[in-house]
Every structure is written in C-alpha cells, then in structure tokens.
Amino acid sequence: MIKVLMLSTDQKILEKGSAAQKRMLEYGELFKELHIVVFTTQPTTDNLQLTTNTWVYPTNTKWKPLYFRDAYKIGKDILSGSHDSDKSSGNSDYAITTQDPFETGLIGWLLKAKFGLPLQLQIHTDIFSPYFRQESLKNRIRVLLARFLLPRADGIRVVSERIKQSLISRVSYPASHISVLPISVDVKKIRNKKVKTDLRQKYPDRDFIILMASRLTKEKNIGLAIDAMKELLSAKRLTLTPLLLIVGDGPERSNLESRIKNYELWDSVKIENWTDDLASYYKTADIFLLTSNYEGYGRTAIEAMAAGLPVIMTDVGLAGELLVDDLDGAVVPVGDKKALAESISRLANNKEVTEGFIKESEKLINSLPEKSEYLASYKESLEILASSQKAKLCYVLPKYDPNDSTHFSYLRDFLKEISKSFDIFLVVEKGEIPPADLGYRKAKISRISLWPILRARFSGYRDFYIHYSFRAAFWASLVVRIFGGRVFYWNCGEPWKYRRNFLRELFEDSAYHLITFLVTGTESLAKQYANYYKIPLGKIKIMSNWINLDRIMNQESRIKKEELGIKEGTKILLFAHRLSKRKGAHYLPEIAKNLNPIIHDSLFVILVVGDGPEREEIELRIKNYELGNKVRFLGSIPNHRLPGYYSLADVFIMPSDEEGFPHVLLESMAAGTPFVASDVGSVKEIIPEAMQKYAVKAGDVLGFSDKINELLLKSPKELEHLGESLKDWVKRYDLPIVARKFTNLINNG
C-alpha cells in the first residue's frame, strides 16, 4: 500500500462529523497512510489525528499570501519523515495529490520537485471555460498557473469526460495519463432517505415547485433562473402556480434578493438557507434546475435524478455525457434565458415528458458505480500513478545528429533502451532534437545547458547524467548543490595526455570536484582519473561502453569490393576514426610504407573513414611515399553505415595515442573482424585473451605493421574461428546488458 499526501483548501475537513471529514476517513482506509494539509487562517485548530493512519494538518496561516510557505513547510516535514509513523520506509512510497491545479497544485509541484515523487492534480471544474476566465483577474491568473502545472503532473484526475477532452485539446496532455473519476453520489442513501420536509406542505399555495440547490456564487448564475421565471410569469405561459425555491448561501445572495425584489417576484421566488435534508427537497419538488456558467461535473443534478426528480441544466459538466438532452433530462445553452424558460414551460405543461425523463434517468442512475466501486477506482488511480512511475533522469547530450560519424550516434539506441526504465528529460547542446520514438518525456535544445537543466530540476528531476560535456556537468553540479540532487558525469578517455588552455583546464577540474559521481569505463581508468584529478575512488563508478548487436547483425547495406573499385584478392585494412594525432592518424603513412615491402604490391589497401585536422598532412605524406593506390580516403561516413565497412575489412587498425573504452573495437569485434590496436586506455581490459598480443605499444609503427601482417597470413579457417570468438566475446557489451547495469548504477548509486 502507498502513502498519500493530499493538499486541500476544504476547511470542512476539520469539522467533526462533516461530509468532507467522513470522506477523508473513507479515503484513509484505502492507503497505508493519509496526510491531509488544509489551507486555513489562524487560529483554527491543532493537527488532528482522525484514525491510526489519517492525519489533518491546518496551515493556521496568519496572512493568506503565506499559505504557500506554510503548506510547503508542512508537506516538506511530512515527506522528510518528521510526521511519519514509519520513518524507516522513507518517502519513496508516497504519492502527492492536490485538490486543484492552482494554489494547492503549485505546492504539490514544488514538493514533487523537492522529493522526486509522483504528482496527481485534480480538476473539479471546467477551468478552460471562457466564463471561468472572465469571472475575475484571479481566475485568469489561475488559468495561467494551470497551463504551467498540468504538463508537469504525472497524472490528472478529472470528474468528467468534458474536462478530459478540454485538457487533451488545450494542453496537449496525453489521454493515457488522465483518469475520469466522477464525484461519488450515494444513490442508495438518497433513495432510502425518508421525507422529513415536504415542500408541497411547506408551500401549499404552489403546485409546481422548481428547485435549485447550490452555493450562491457568480459561476452558478442563479440570476438566469430568476430572469426565466420573470419571463414565464409575464407571458403567463404556465397553467400551474410555480415557485422557484433556491437553497443555499454565498456572496451573491444579497444581489439575488435585490433582483427578486426589483422584479416583484417575492411570492414566486424564495431563497432558503442550506439544509442537510436536501433529499427531502429533491423528493417533493417537481423539477430541478442547474444554471451554471461552468461546472466540472454537477453532482446535484445526479442527486436529483437519483431521487426521481427531472432535471434541466445548462450545457456544462456532465451534460451530454450522462444527462442527454431530451432523453433523461433537458440541456439548454449557457446563459440562454429563453431556452431555459421554454424548457421549464414544456416540463410544467407536459407530464408525459417529465415521466419519460424520470424513467430514462432511473436507468442511468442504476448504471452508476456504487461508492465502494468509486473508492476502489480512486485508490487505483493513485496506486497506478505510484507503481508506473519511472525513475526520473535528466540526460545531457553534447550533440545529436542522425547522420553523425562519431560515437554520439550510438546514443540514440542507448536512450531508447534506458527509456524503458527512466522518465527522461533530454537536453541536447548542439544539433537537433531526436525523434520522439526514443521514449523520452521531454526534450530541450540549448547551447547553454544551464537553463534546461534548471527547468528539469524544477520539473522534479533530481538525477542528471552528463555525457562528456564538462560545461553541463559544471552547471548541473551547481544546480544540485543549491536545490538537491545528483550528477553522474561520464568521461572515458585519457584527457591528461593532451593539455588544453588554462581556463578550460581550470573549468574542467572544477567540474570533476563538483559532480556527485564520475562514471568511466574500467577499473584502471578509474584509478588514473582518481590519481590525476585527486578524486576519491569512492566517487567513481564503473560502467562499460556498449554496442547494439541487433543493429550490427541486421545490417542490410553490405559493402562489396567492386562498389569501391577494389579487386578480388586484395586485403582490406580499415581505419575509422577522427583524423587527429590523438587517434593516431598521423601514423597511417608509416604503417602503409612498412607494409608495402612485406605484402605484395597489389594485394592490400587501407580504407580511411573519417576526417579531421591531420588529413591534409597525411595525404601529402602518402603522396610523397607514392602510396596513393594503397590508401583511400573515404571521408566522414554516418556511423549507422559503418558496420558494412567492418564486415568488408580483413583487419581493423586503431593506432591511437589516447583512448578510454574505444567503441570502434566493439564494432570491429561485433563484425567478427580481427584488429591491431595501440595498448592505451582500457584496450587490454576489454579484449579477449586471443587478441592481447595484437595490442601494440603506442607509436610502435614497425610492431603495428608486423602484427597486421601476422593476421593477414592466417588461414581462412583460423580467421573464421577468431572472428566467431570475437563475436561471442563482445556479447558481454550488448546494449540491453549494459542498459541494465546503467539502471542499477543510477538507482543504487
């Protein structure tokens, strides 16, 4: 069972025996614990423990604008455990639900951001109705606040299909995250209630009683009913003697009483105070009116129908969904006095119509869920929210380009895989937003990653995984230092081998000390990072690089020698990397020169895939060595096309001076292509025993050439066996396996 933190403005929850408090007691039975924070002004009461697992906390706020501060503080204390009876379980099994997407919703969102908990916003009225916005400046501000909060909620509970469709169209909120749960009506209680007050006896001179029951506020538009009564009486369209009986109280009462007086309707329109015996009124009236400008649902209409009372209502709330015009009731346009008057006249003068409405409404009422079903659905809505909640992760990419020739293109596959376990807020510093089918929830692109990182943090994302970008690591670290959270910074290389300018070195060194965890590829690299940057080993996590074997195995575009103008029998060597000194590209001319006398003049070619700052110098030296027919520069090729080149090659070569956990070796092994590589970084830790001797000291060009020749001299059977062993070895780095390790790293880090 889950624990629930509820934020409410309903002060009747504090009143012993009230319907609101009884409802909370019923909710309390559904959950392990229920904590209810109620916005109140001082002085109200102390905290109440209603049952062994249900508590109410009034804010007792001295000044209304401080509601936010006080409610947030109480909620924070509850979630931190100071009000919790079971402190050992922490707050991971909590869900937050708020009464509205306005004031309580804002506090709920702040607590969600603080604790990373699932948030459900409840909507009980039609907030996107134009009448709601026009009613006051306060409501216009509330709509703006709702537009901000709703996309940031993990689930939304609405009371009618009308509101659900409004959300989908106006906020583009996914339908799967919206639960329609109407307000519960205890039909049996209404039907079984004995009549204590008979309106026909109370008003014996009236033979047609029109009942209204609501709070007297602007949105209920009670004045519309009074105007319709004036028109009916003036036109003498009723054969009966009517009474419009309004039950309720509120800020509009004096205005309504003035209107009744001005129209001289004091005999035909009366206002009574609210009563707890409303069932008696329903059962002894003739029709029920609901004239609101907007509603979320319209519970009183259902209560009236349950009592066998025909209903006329404006086109709001449940109208059209439950109460269908001219089937089980009458629906009139909002604010239409003439249509309302005509409907009243029709029902008053046509008994067959009212009896038809009563008969059809009884069928509807009998189909409504009972209270036990309602409570079960309410419980389920929050349990699903909590159980389906993925861990939140903000993932920062330095670059995304679907045609990228670098290893960044492989992050597409990785993101899609980890999105099965994480709710991802994706930040891209350069390039474009990846396609939505990768499974992330949100994506932002910004060269200055601070702003989307802040946005992610205030959307409840506490964990940040930064891929290589030291700037993003720096900004994320500052954000979590202030607002809480963790930063995982992936860096896997030997950056200390190539010094940068002073400011970058200073900035990057600061990032290493601000982050929560450094993530790198192997134990040996972890020790080197710890030694160079003076980072405690306990602050460094190990996670291997990965390869999507499915994509390699299902590669459709096989490259053929004839497509490249290469003769059959020619041995192919492949270099696929940036043409820089760090990647050993400057050794290529000497490697080719040393191989030429060893291998017969026409039987080998080096295919160079990639581009970079050393290309011009390399091409010049190749030309000077008269090896133009031995080395072909293919330029940058999108990474997703490279498997075809690996499969074509006889030997892959990686003469790098600096590496971490080279992805190109995983690609080579996945294709079953043997390789010769420099013994740098973690190379020897990630390759099988059979390939250890092909890891050559960096810069040893002669040794490199000898090992290439050794592989080329192997028999086809030997090469086939070696290739199969490489394919088998690299399975340990397959994407799903590494993604599971990544999930464990973040969840248990």
Geometric angle at alpha carbon 45, from 44 and 46, rounded to 5°:
145
**What is 419-444 written as a DSSP string?**
TTTEEEEEEEEEE-PPPGGG--SEEE
CA distance 109 to 153: 8
How many Cα atoms occupy the beta-carbon half-sphere of 608 within 13 Å? Answer: 28
Number of residues that make up the chain: 749
In the chain, the N- to C-terminal Cα span, in Å, equals 26
Phi, psi of 94 (to 5 degrees): -90, 150
pTM: 0.67
Residue 723: Cβ within 10 Å count? 15
CA distance 416 to 732: 19
CA distance 712 to 725: 17
Closest by CA position to 217, among listed 252, 248, 257: 252
Q: What is the four-CA torsion angle of 114, 116, 118, 122, rounded to 10 degrees?
A: 20
Q: Which listed CATH number (3.30.2000.10, 2.60.120.650, 3.40.640.10, 3.40.50.2000) goes with 559-733?
A: 3.40.50.2000
CA distance 720 to 60: 78
At 307, list the tokens. 């009592």
Contact status, residue 419 vs residue 437, Cβ threshold 8 Å: no
CA distance 62 to 341: 47
At 489, list the tokens. 């910074």
What confidence score (pLDDT) does residue 88 get?
Answer: 42
**Chain centroid to CA 630:** 54
CA distance 391 to 659: 32
Q: Which CATH architecture has domain 187-367?
A: 3-Layer(aba) Sandwich (3.40)
Residue 1: Cβ within 10 Å count? 12
- The class that CATH gives domain 391-542 is alpha beta
At 35, list the tokens. 């904590």
CA distance 20 to 39: 14
CA distance 41 to 37: 13
The one-letter code for the residue type at 722 is L
**Per-residue CA distances from 351 to 206, 302, 346, 355 (Å):** 17, 21, 9, 6
CA distance 299 to 707: 83
Contact status, residue 25 vs residue 53, Cβ threshold 8 Å: no
**Per-residue CA distances from 470 to 286, 397, 504 (Å):** 74, 11, 9
Closest by CA position to 68, among listed 26, 42, 102: 102
Same fold, 3-180 and 559-733: yes
CA distance 716 to 548: 27
Domain boundaries, the chain: 3-180, 187-367, 391-542, 559-733
| Angle between helix 588-598 and helix 615-624 axes, rounded to 10 deg | 30
Contact status, residue 661 vs residue 681, Cβ threshold 8 Å: yes
Contact status, residue 37 vs residue 8, Cβ threshold 8 Å: yes
Contact status, residue 596 vs residue 630, Cβ threshold 8 Å: yes
Task: Write out the H or E segment, with its range, that includes residue 242.
Answer: strand 242-247
Residue 539: Cβ within 10 Å count? 16
For the chain, helix (H) and strand (E) counts, in that order, are 29, 27
The one-letter code for the residue type at 442 is K
The residues near 718 (Cβ < 8 Å, ≥ 6 apart) are none
The residues near 8 (Cβ < 8 Å, ≥ 6 apart) are 36, 37, 38, 39, 98, 99, 104
pLDDT, block means (10 residues), the chain with 749 residues = 94 91 94 95 83 95 89 94 52 88 96 90 94 93 94 92 90 83 88 94 95 96 96 86 96 96 94 94 97 95 96 96 94 96 93 94 90 90 82 91 69 90 92 85 89 91 93 95 94 84 82 95 95 94 93 73 86 94 94 78 84 94 92 89 90 96 94 96 96 96 94 93 96 95 90
Contact status, residue 102 vs residue 108, Cβ threshold 8 Å: no
What is the Rg, in whole angstroms, of the alpha carbon atoms belonging to the chain? 36
CATH of span 3-180? 3.40.50.2000
CA distance 360 to 426: 52
User: In 193-291, which ranges are continuous DSSP H helix?
Assistant: 199-202, 222-235, 253-262, 278-284
Q: What secondary structure, in 3-state letters, does 528-565 show?
A: HHHHHHCCCHHHEEECCCCECHHHHHCCCCCCCHHHHC
Q: In DSSP terms, which residues pair with 33 in a beta bridge?
A: 3
Residue 187: Cβ within 10 Å count? 19
142 three-class SS: helix
Contact status, residue 477 vs residue 470, Cβ threshold 8 Å: no
Contact status, residue 447 vs residue 585, Cβ threshold 8 Å: no
